[in-house]
Amino acid sequence: MILLTTSANLALMNSVSESLAGRSLYLEPPPFCPTEWASNSKHPFAPLESLFKSDFRTKTWPILEGEWLEIGDQITRVPVFSTNPISSLVKSKKLLWNDCGLAAWLAGIGSEKNLLARTDCGLWLEQAVFQTQQTWRSLNPAKRRIYFRRNRLSQETDFILEEDSNIVALEIKSGRVVGQKETMGLEAFREALSKKKSLVRSVVLYGGQEARALGNETFALPFGWMFPVAETKALREGADGVWNQIK
């Protein structure tokens, strides 16, 4: 018996004159499936195989919550920031998409007009900001972390960035004006933060055009740099030039 490993189909190769009919068996290994990624069992396909058995019983079928979006790296569960395991913080994680464009498409958002007409526009802004933060974290995953905070009074800090035990707290607001109400979550986090961690500063990323200090190491900063406008004159001219060369 000869075992030959190859990525080519011998039956379709011009240089092979023999059909090998009846003398060869082709095995086509597919990519790993989610049950193989996550399962600790030696028989991850046992449920499917049980369907062919005469003594099949519904009570033997595994009842588990599917996590295909997370296993497929489509979503991320942002953990809660806490230095005290017995604190009053709500422990449920925040679920965010890794690709905000894909998430928007699945939600039926096909244009800026569609987005602005929604009542959850702020949620999508937070989602887009998170995608930038994910890239930032991936450049140094050993030292960088992303968290959020929400206590039982519903005071929330949208994102908490950590690098080498230094903390920056972020609040994401779509409005063009920042007042005391927009900083309440940041102030609550500052008061609750343990001395073991160093809060470098707190920031409200908002839709205005002015970067200004709000006092107590808290700043209001425009988020526009995260979303550069692609349709600039220079880019259009560059694209036209490339297209003319292609033609």
Contacting residues for 226 by C-beta, under 8 A, at least 6 apart = 128, 129, 132, 205
Q: Could you tell me which residue, 237 or 135, shows the higher pLDDT?
A: 135
Query: Mean pLDDT highest for which of 67-76, 142-151, 191-200, 233-242?
Result: 142-151
Instruction: Name the strand (E) or helix (H) holding 102.
Output: helix 100-106
Rounded to an integer, the average pLDDT of 126-154 is: 89
Whole-angstrom Cα distance, residue 19 to residue 11?
6
CA torsion angle for 187, 197, 80, 82 (degrees, to 10)?
Answer: -100
Q: State which H helix or E strand residue 128 sits in.
A: helix 121-138
Of residues 42 and 190, the one with the higher pLDDT is 190
Closest CA to 167 of 202, 132, 128: 202
Q: Sorting pLDDT into bands at 50, 70 and 90, what band is 70?
A: confident
d(CA 223, CA 125) in angstroms, rounded, equals 10
How far apart are alpha carbons 170 and 132 in whole angstroms? 13
Q: What would the 3-class secondary structure string for 222-233 be?
A: ECHHHCCCCCCH
Q: Are 46 and 61 in contact (CB under 8 A)?
A: no
Which of 72, 69, 66 is CA-nearest to residue 33? Answer: 72
26 vs 151, more confident: 151
Task: Indicate whether 157 pLDDT > 90.
Answer: yes
All structural domains of the chain, each given as residue ranges with its CATH number in brackets, are 68-226 (3.40.1350)
Contacts for 174 with CB less than 8 Å, ≥ 6 apart: 121, 122, 125, 206, 207
Give tens-digit pLDDT for 168-205: 999 999 888 998 888 988 988 988 886 656 888 999 99
pTM of the model: 0.66
